[in-house]
Amino acid sequence: GRPIVYITRSDMPECGVNLLKKECDVKYWPKPSPVPREEFLKEISGAAGIYCSLTDKIDKDILDAAGPSLRVVATISVGYDHIDVQECKKRGIKLGYTPDVLTDATAELTLALLLSTSRRLPEAQHEAQTGGWVSWAPTWMTGPGLAGSTVGIAGFGRIGQAVARRVKAFNTARILYWNRSVRPEAKEIGAVKVNFDELLTESDFVICCAALVPETKEIFNKSAFEKMKKSAIFVNTSRGGTVDQDALIESLKNNTIRAAGLDVTTPEPLPLDSPLFKLKNCVVLPHIGSASIEARDIMSELTAKNILAAIQGTDMPAEIK
C-alpha cells in the first residue's frame, strides 16, 4: 500500500499536507495542539515518515515505536535541537528541516522585538490604554536608539546575517558578531568578528541568533549579563536554552542590564506566573519568529517535499546532513 506519514497536529498549513496526501496515507493527531507523547508513541507504528514540529521530541523511544518502516523525520523548523540526530543517523533515517525559507520572517521579527523592547512599545501601549498618557512629556517612555549604536550578534548564520543587514539600515555605528567559524559574508555586510567577551562588553544591543548546541547552552549566564553594559538590551530569537533564565531574571530585576526581548523561553509555553511576565523591562513573545503567513506556507511545503523525496529515494531539498 501507500506509505504512511504521521503528522503531529491537525493544523499544519494545508498546502504541504495536500502535497503529501497525493502520494501517501496521511494520519494525524486530530487536534490543533501538539500530540501528547503517549499518543505519539502509540500512533506511529508502521509509519514511513513523521512530519513534526519543534514541540515534538524525537528520540530513541519514538524511533523504536515507529519501527523499521521509518525512513524520514521532517520538522517544520530550522532548529533541530529537539531531534536526536545521531540516533537517526545510526538507523539510516533521513532528516529534513526548513532553512532559508524562514530567514526573512525571523529576521523581521527580531528587528520588531529589538525595537519593541528598546522603545518600550508594550509598556507604552499599556500606559495609553490605562490613563498613564497625561500629556506629551519630554523624558517619558524614552529608550535607547539604534542609530550610532553598536549591535552584537551571537550566531552569524543565515538568520544572524539577515538581522545584521537590516540593522545596518538603522545607521548603526558598528556590527560585531561572534560565531564558531569565520563567516566570509561578514565582510560585505561590514560586521566584525569578536570573541564572546568583547561582544558582551562592547555592544549596546546583544542579539542571540545561535543554534542551541552543547557549545551554546546557557552561554548567556550570570557572568555574561554582568559583562554587558548596564544600558544593554538583550534580544533572543533562537532558543531559550541559550540563556540561564534565572540569571536573566535577576539581571533584569537588579538593572544589571536595561531590558530584554524574548521570543523563546524555558519552558515553552512560559508559565503565567513566570517573573518575566511581571517585569516592565522584559518583552515576551510566544515563539513567533517564523510566523509570517508566507514563511509558514512555504515551510509546510518544504517539510512535505522533504518527506516525499526521502520516501522516493531522491535528493531531499533540505536535508540535515
Q: What amino acid positions are annotated as catalytic residues?
A: 287
User: Under a CB-based contact definition with an 8 Å cutoff, are residues 96 and 306 in contact?
Assistant: yes
Q: Least distance in Å: CB of 284 to ligand GLV?
A: 15
Q: Which stretch binds ligand GLV (CB under 6 A): 74-82, 108-116, 162-170, 213-221?
A: 74-82
Closest CA to 77 of 299, 249, 315: 299
Residue 78 interacts with ligand GLV (CB under 6 A): yes or no: yes
Q: Least distance in Å: CB of 1 to ligand GLV?
A: 32
- Work out which of 13, 74, 77, 318 binds ligand GLV, going by CB under 6 A: 77
Cβ proximity to ligand GLV, 79 vs 96, nearer residue? 79
Residue 79 interacts with ligand GLV (CB under 6 A): yes or no: yes
Q: Least distance in Å: CB of 203 to ligand GLV?
A: 23
Q: Which stretch binds ligand GLV (CB under 6 A): 73-81, 143-151, 160-168, 278-286?
A: 73-81
User: Under a CB-based contact definition with an 8 Å cutoff, are residues 215 and 83 in contact?
Assistant: no
- Binding track over 242-271 against ligand GLV, x by CB under 6 A: ------------------------------
Cβ proximity to ligand GLV, 3 vs 157, nearer residue? 157
Number of residues that bind ligand GLV (CB under 6 A): 7
User: Under a CB-based contact definition with an 8 Å cutoff, are residues 156 and 178 in contact?
Assistant: yes
Residue 306 interacts with ligand GLV (CB under 6 A): yes or no: no
Instruction: Report which DSSP code applies to 106.
Output: H
Cβ proximity to ligand GLV, 24 vs 295, nearer residue? 295
Angle between helices 158-168 and 103-118 (to 10 degrees): 50
Angle between helices 121-129 and 103-118 (to 10 degrees): 60
Q: Least distance in Å: CB of 31 to ligand GLV?
A: 21
User: Under a CB-based contact definition with an 8 Å cutoff, are residues 204 and 233 in contact?
Assistant: yes
Q: Which stretch binds ligand GLV (CB under 6 A): 37-45, 71-79, 187-195, 304-312?
A: 71-79
> In Å, what is the CA distance from 84 to each residue of 34, 93, 140, 308, 320?
19, 11, 49, 21, 12
Q: Which stretch binds ligand GLV (CB under 6 A): 11-19, 24-32, 76-84, 241-249?
A: 76-84
DSSP H or E segment with residue 52: strand 49-52
Q: Least distance in Å: CB of 186 to ligand GLV?
A: 23
Residue 103 interacts with ligand GLV (CB under 6 A): yes or no: no
Q: Least distance in Å: CB of 102 to ligand GLV?
A: 6
Cβ proximity to ligand GLV, 78 vs 111, nearer residue? 78
User: 26 forms bridges with which residues in the sheet?
Assistant: 5
Angle between helices 103-118 and 293-312 (to 10 degrees): 150
Class of residue 231 by CB neighbours under 10 A (exposed 0-12, middle 13-18, buried 19+): middle
Q: Least distance in Å: CB of 148 to ligand GLV?
A: 19
Residue 290 interacts with ligand GLV (CB under 6 A): yes or no: yes
Q: Name the percent of the chain in helix, strand, coil, to the closest 5.
A: 40, 15, 45
Helix, strand, or coil (residue 237): coil
DSSP H or E segment with residue 284: strand 282-284
Residue 54 interacts with ligand GLV (CB under 6 A): yes or no: yes
Return residues touching ligand GLV (CB under 6 A). Answer: 54, 77-79, 102, 289-290
